[in-house]
Structure 1
């Protein structure tokens, strides 16, 4: 027995895709570097230290005096002795003027004028303490620094970019199709009849 059949045969559509990849080229030129560093300007002013030592008093204590100092002392001592002599002569004259008041001024004055003076004797340090005088002035340093900033004339180069975009091409490689076939069917009038 043959049954009527409808046979369908289909073919799928096929799409062909062709791709061209993008190309990107980047070139980075190096920067042009121009740097200058002027040196710093430095000025240093120094006042040297000063040490003074005065030994004049120590030499005088050891009786090693300069001739000008000796002349000055002798002149001062002579002036003082002269004043003392005037005072002594004046006092003795006053004593002789009042001889009637009693006493023995002539013998007292003879004794006073003939005796050597009595000097005090004492222990002394030669030279005396702190007879050497020192004075120290420390050195002074003045530093003046002028800082010079660097001169920067650097030129920056931008990157060179070449870009080729990619492409995608699509096309229909195979169209879809549907094939219909009838088997064991008869067409009678406007309908199909099945004959068994």
Structure 2
């Protein structure tokens, strides 16, 4: 006896997927930057120092006198010689008045006039200590500086972005089927 049979044959469905990759590019242009530095203001005030050297006394000490000092010295010496001459003549007159007392006035006066005053010798070309007068007034420098701030200008540039999205395509590659046989 034959038993009826049912045969079923199936074919599955197949799906096809294809993709296309997306692309993205980013470009960042440089920003625009401009910097300007103005010069600083600078003011310098200078008062020079002053050095004063007075050699008048040192030059007078070594007999290098100015005409004015020579005239003053000559006038002073003339006056002093005049007064000492008057004093000498007064003294000689007083000595002569004492002749009657047995005083030998004429020989004493002659001896004084012949001998004269004792002369002192010293080195004449060395000035006295402290005869050169030196004074110094220091100078002064004032510096005034005023800085100026820099001028900065800038522009930001936006990035350039290009984007192509990915694509996915889905299709049915093979249809499903069912085949049934009877026997």
* Alignment TM-score, normalising by the size of structure 1: 0.58
How much has 1:65 moved relative to structure 2?
Answer: 1.0
Aligned-partner Cα distance in 2 for 1:107–1:15:
170
Aligned residue for 2:10? 10
Q: Describe how 1:177-188 pairs up with structure 2 within 5 A.
A: 177-179=177-179, 181=181
Aligned residue for 1:119? 119
Residues 108 and 10 of structure 1, relative CA distance in 2, 3 Å threshold: farther
Aligned residue for 2:127? 128
Pair 1:143-2:143 in alignment:
yes
Corresponding residue SS for 2:157: coil
Residues 52 and 3 of structure 1, relative CA distance in 2, 3 Å threshold: farther
Paired positions, count? 175
Residues 118 and 3 of structure 1, relative CA distance in 2, 3 Å threshold: farther
How much has 1:84 moved relative to structure 2?
Answer: 7.1
Residues 75 and 105 of structure 1, relative CA distance in 2, 3 Å threshold: farther
Bigger CA drift: 68-77 or 57-66? 68-77
How much has 1:149 moved relative to structure 2?
Answer: 2.0
Aligned-partner Cα distance in 2 for 1:181–1:103:
202
Aligned-partner Cα distance in 2 for 1:146–1:71:
60
Residues 178 and 64 of structure 1, relative CA distance in 2, 3 Å threshold: same
How much has 1:76 moved relative to structure 2?
Answer: 4.6
Pair 1:157-2:135 in alignment:
no
How much has 1:37 moved relative to structure 2?
Answer: 1.9
Does the 8 Å CA contact 1:59/1:127 hold for their aligned counterparts? no
Bigger CA drift: 12-21 or 2-11? 2-11
Bigger CA drift: 155-164 or 21-30? 21-30
Aligned-partner Cα distance in 1 for 2:3–2:76:
172
RMSD of aligned alpha carbons: 4.4
Residues 118 and 181 of structure 1, relative CA distance in 2, 3 Å threshold: same
* Alignment TM-score, normalising by the size of structure 2: 0.61
For structure 2, the 5+ residue unaligned runs are none
Q: Describe how 1:54-93 pairs up with structure 2 within 5 A.
A: 54-77=54-77
